[in-house]
Chain A
Amino acid sequence: SQQGEEDPQALSIQEGENATMNCSYKTSINNLQWYRQNSGRGLVHLILIRSNEREKHSGRLRVTLDTSKKSSSLLITASRAADTASYFCAGGYNKLIFGAGTRLAVHP
């Protein structure tokens, strides 16, 4: 099973630009999480936002959550080449269901 689509599926930007990724989900959630995955590697947990929160910040990351629309967004500010990776949202109740993911490429 999988959450809804992530938008965009792929994003290509220049270093220093901001990257915004959107996620829609289908299931009920008690929180929503964002993960990063470098090609063929394990997952890195980025940030968790609880269902009663609307916005959360962590360093260059900003996450929003709209439970009425079942959607979330991840903003990476001042992107770096090292941010190149796939980004996934994941949520659920007592288990994590992943979204389709966005492949981000940041060019020097």
Chain B
Amino acid sequence: GAVVSQHPSRVICKSGTSVKIECRSLDFQATTMFWYRQFPKQSLMLMATSNEGSKATYEQGVEKDKFLINHASLTLSTLTVTSAHPEDSSFYICSADQGEGGYTFGSGTRLTVV
């Protein structure tokens, strides 16, 4: 079946630094990928839709300069959390659109900003 690899699974960074998270579709091409954020005991909040070869579409309230998304190929989307602060600590999950309503999710990245 379709697999999405998300890396790293855990990262700890210092406040003020930037962190890049990768989301890679391993056996299919994904023109569209999605990035979600999940705080403890809460649901997944859609942050942005990543489109291959074009700019990402951000959901209302998500700072595009803070969360940089690059979807340079049909199998890779990256999310960079710039100038991270403790309040950015969260669980970030990506998913890839397989078409016909099918979405495959990565295993998530737990970001801790200290």
Contact = CB atoms under 8 A, between A and B. Distances in A.
B101 A31 contact: yes
Contacts of A45: 103, 105
Interface string B29-66: 00010101000011111100100000000011000000
Interface residues of A, number: 23
Interface stretch (A58-66, A75-83, A98-106): A98-106
Contacts of B59: 1
A3 to B, nearest CB: 8
A97 to B, nearest CB: 6
A42 to B, nearest CB: 4
Contacts of A54: none
A100 B101 contact: no
A13 interface: no
A27 B95 CA distance: 19
List 10 tightest A-B contacts by C-beta distance, closest first. Answer: A42-B107, A31-B101, A98-B44, A43-B105, A101-B43, A98-B43, A100-B43, A42-B108, A1-B59, A96-B103
Contacts of A40: 91, 110
Contacts, number: 52
A50 B101 contact: yes
Contact of B95 (A1, A31, A48, A96): A96
A41 to B, nearest CB: 7
B93 A95 contact: no
A18 interface: no
28 contacts: A1-B46, A1-B59, A2-B43, A2-B45, A2-B46, A30-B101, A31-B101, A33-B101, A40-B91, A40-B110, A41-B107, A42-B106, A42-B108, A45-B103, A48-B101, A48-B102, A88-B43, A88-B44, A90-B44, A94-B32, A95-B46, A97-B46, A98-B36, A98-B43, A98-B44, A98-B45, A100-B43, A103-B41
